[in-house]
Structure 1
Amino acid sequence: MTDSTLSVSDLAIDHALAQTAASMQFLLDVTPVNADEIKADFVNGRVRDPAFVYRPVEVQPDVLSKALHNIDVSAIEDPTLGHLLRAKHRELALQFDMLRARDTDDFKALSIELYGGTSPELRTQAEGILERVKVTEGPGEVVPAPEFLELAQAEIDHYREIDPEIDLHAEMRDDVNGIMVTGNTLLIDNDSVVQRARVNGLLQHEVGTHLVTQVNGAAQPVQVLGTGLAGYDETQEGLAVLAEVACGELTPFRLRQLAARVLTVHRMQGGAEFVEAWRALLKDGFTERSAFTTTMRAYRSGGLSKDAIYLRGLVDLLAHLRGGGDLALLWLGKFSLADLPLISDLHERGVLVAPRLVPRYAEDPASTARLNAAADSVDDVAQLITGAAA
């Protein structure tokens, strides 16, 4: 197939793959439900080896694997789509293996296979940030979860004014840790508090990036663009952090947090114990509770290396911008920057439709100017914070 129409059989395979991907909630399934309770015990010295508890997996990995096995991606006719969906098929198989291996020694190795490791270059960036971005904002006024929910709902309503048919939601729950998006829903931990100075940046991260691209991807003929093509997480999180830069709300603490995540993942992959990684963050100037959350995220389920992708994705996108690239096609759905040429091919052939929504910051000249300036910091991300010592 070389025209704008994909075959019915190709679309059927895509839809089956998208449905299989949507039938699991991977991040929820690998994140402990008792992190807040354990945090208090750990920080107060009552626990030194946290025992995390995880929610029951709603759909058993063996069932998901069988459903995946029944999807014959080798039969896809369109070469571009075939490449994309075969890669997604392999990624889903790996994620199902990770769910089987949750909280075992095998999980860490599978996680590295899925998300990659921490390169020396990325660690150098992270170390530079912690060394030179020393002064962080004070705690200031905080926004509790109910108020943040109202602000998130207002942000969703902004997009509903543009397209009343969009299917987006926000809700508070007691079985999540922090604030996260799964599918078309923003989940907010009942106990979450957000610095008011961070609110807009977080809204642009979660709603303006993750939910907007979910809406756009779900509206595509290629449905996997809604659930996410293989490797989409890194570019999605990079885009989401870039949104914080664009709206002028990437704070010193936030940049240090992203650097700490990289170094904690590196320590986890190197075999450091939980308490060792936590103490290393204390030496880097993080509070006990903040250090616990960062360490928990890297050590959950046996070792999850996902947190290294935030800084890595940001660096890759800054390099993309510095090289003359733009972000326009990245709003079409959830996919990796590495797959941009393939997405461009589908777009040029008329296979993909225009995005239903564009992040509000993408149409703000001030945001464009901030991103153009930020692109010059790709070799030294610490410079994103004005005044970071050279």
Structure 2
Amino acid sequence: MTPDHLSEAVGPETSAIESGAFSPADLAADHAMASLAGTVRFLLEMTPVNADEVRATFLADPRTDPVFEYRELDVDPDVLDAQVAAIPLDSVTDATLATLLANRHREMILRVEMLRARDTADFLQLSIAQYGPVLPALVQRAEDLLERLPRGRLEYDSVDAAAFLAAAEAEIDHYRSIDPDVGIHAEIRDDVSGVLVEGDTLLISHNASVAGARVNALLQHEVGTHLVTQVNGSAQPIRMMGSGLAHYDETQEGLAVLAEIACGGLTVARLRQLAARVVAVHSMVGGASFVETHRVLTGYGLPAGSAYTVAMRVYRAGGFTKDAIYLRGLLALLEHVAGGGSLDLLFLGKFSLEDLPLVEDLAQRGLLVPAKITPRYLADPAAGDRLRDAARADDLLTLVNA
């Protein structure tokens, strides 16, 4: 899990294109797909523009489901359909690349349908198809955590949007000191909720409030994982490793939570939040209203405001089930590490743990280049110890280290 290991894993930096292993047609198909993927700000399109305004109204009288509003779509789904259909996948000759691109192509078709169905009754089933069902074992794990974790408000000191932006810019400057061409940045926006990464940008809500104990952990989650893998993936011959291959979200979020553990910043409140997200998705899929799910969450001891945020993220767009993948992705990666698996290649781009054998094949053939930057937390010798301890842990509560 070191920069040296990453370099050894992928071999000489010049091999991918100079060897001619990928044909021009291979790269053309990949680049066309990556260019198209970069035009869709998927998470922004799913996020209500009035979430913060509605919050106060709902909390004052939590008996009526809130009504969310969304920005106009930046792209026409019909045009996107035509553009996705025009990607020249039939010309791809490398079998591994063909599989990776075909899987992502199917996902792009599904995401276009999600955009088209946003805020309608059809959206939920499309979301389940994209992010997978929430199985009983995961729900039971989440419910057990909520039963045993301390309840109530646990974090008091916080920083506002401006202070978190300053911390994020300092973190980004660290990576620019390593590679001046790193093209990532952070900004405050009034049309987002919370903190999220879209493409190469960290977006911070103007109303954001981050617990003091969570600042570094959130930076390692968003910058040290999501933006670092975007930089490294975009530098690969396969540009889709920067945009994200099929079902990359779950592994990305699991890796980002591992970063929180590695830097010593996983708090009780954060672990409870991850469990609550699973319970909220399960409640919504089961037919519960926003009000009912909010009541379930407060019944588990979440403060009303925190419960609103969890429910809003889950009910947005018509039923966005993505939030269940954080805990599921974490558990999958802990199992991977416990079984002797390495995390090294996962920092080269955005792809799923299921696709790791395919990425390993590309690396072994010298078709990937070394990481331009590696997560800052890996330089801390204690990070490796924390990850090994986490992989050996029988109880997720022992992962709390802040």
Partner of 1:305: 321
Partner of 1:217: 233
Q: 1:186 touches 1:206 (CA, 8 Å); kept in 2?
A: yes
Q: 1:4 touches 1:351 (CA, 8 Å); kept in 2?
A: no
Aligned match for 1:207, one of 200, 217, 223: 223
State how far apart, in whole Å, the 2-side matches of 1:242 and 1:41 are: 35
State how far apart, in whole Å, the 2-side matches of 1:199 and 1:86 are: 38
Q: How many Å apart are 1:138 and its aligned residue? A: 3.0
TM-score (norm 2): 0.93
Q: 2:242 touches 2:350 (CA, 8 Å); kept in 1?
A: yes
State how far apart, in whole Å, the 1-side matches of 2:333 and 2:379 are: 18
- Report the residue type matching 1:243 in the other structure: A
Aligned match for 1:150, one of 166, 169, 175: 166
**Once the two structures are superposed, what CA deviation does each residue of 1:242-274 show, in whole Å capped at 9, x if it has no partner?**
000000100000000000000100111111111
**Once the two structures are superposed, what CA deviation does each residue of 1:348-387 show, in whole Å capped at 9, x if it has no partner?**
111110010100112321000000000012x532332369
Partner of 1:382: 397
Q: How many Å apart are 1:143 and its aligned residue? A: 0.6
- Report the residue type matching 1:131 in the other structure: E
Is 2:113 aligned against 1:97? Answer: yes
Aligned match for 1:235, one of 251, 259, 267: 251
State how far apart, in whole Å, the 1-side matches of 2:308 and 2:358 are: 40
Q: Quick one: higher RCO (CA 8 Å, sep 6+), 1 or 2?
A: 2
Is 2:369 aligned against 1:369? Answer: no
Partner of 1:55: 71
2:71 alignment partner, SS class: coil
Distance change in 2, residues 1:100/1:135 (3 Å): closer
| Identical pairs, percent | 56
Aligned match for 2:98, one of 82, 94, 97: 82
Q: How many Å apart are 1:50 and its aligned residue? A: 1.0
Is 2:338 aligned against 1:330? Answer: no
5+ unaligned residues in a row in structure 2: which ranges?
A: 1-15
The count of aligned residue pairs is 385
- Report the residue type matching 2:68 in the other structure: F
- Report the residue type matching 2:130 in the other structure: L
Flag as ranges the 4+ runs of structure 1 deviating above 6 A.
none
Partner of 2:198: 182
5+ unaligned residues in a row in structure 1: which ranges?
A: none
Q: 2:153 touches 2:302 (CA, 8 Å); kept in 1?
A: no
Q: 1:61 touches 1:96 (CA, 8 Å); kept in 2?
A: yes
Is 2:62 aligned against 1:65? Answer: no
State how far apart, in whole Å, the 2-side matches of 1:132 and 1:142 are: 25
Q: 2:267 touches 2:401 (CA, 8 Å); kept in 1?
A: no
Distance change in 2, residues 1:386/1:166 (3 Å): closer
- Report the residue type matching 2:159 in the other structure: V
TM-score (norm 1): 0.96
Q: How many Å apart are 1:4 and its aligned residue? A: 6.2
Distance change in 2, residues 1:46/1:254 (3 Å): closer
Partner of 1:9: 25
Q: How many Å apart are 1:329 and its aligned residue? A: 0.5
- Report the residue type matching 1:180 in the other structure: L
**Once the two structures are superposed, what CA deviation does each residue of 1:198-221 show, in whole Å capped at 9, x if it has no partner?**
000000000000000000000000
Is 2:293 aligned against 1:277? Answer: yes
Is 2:210 aligned against 1:226? Answer: no
Give the root-mean-square deviation of aligned CA atoms: 1.5
1:171 alignment partner, SS class: strand
State how far apart, in whole Å, the 2-side matches of 1:36 and 1:335 are: 32
Q: 1:65 touches 1:96 (CA, 8 Å); kept in 2?
A: yes
State how far apart, in whole Å, the 2-side matches of 1:46 and 1:258 are: 22
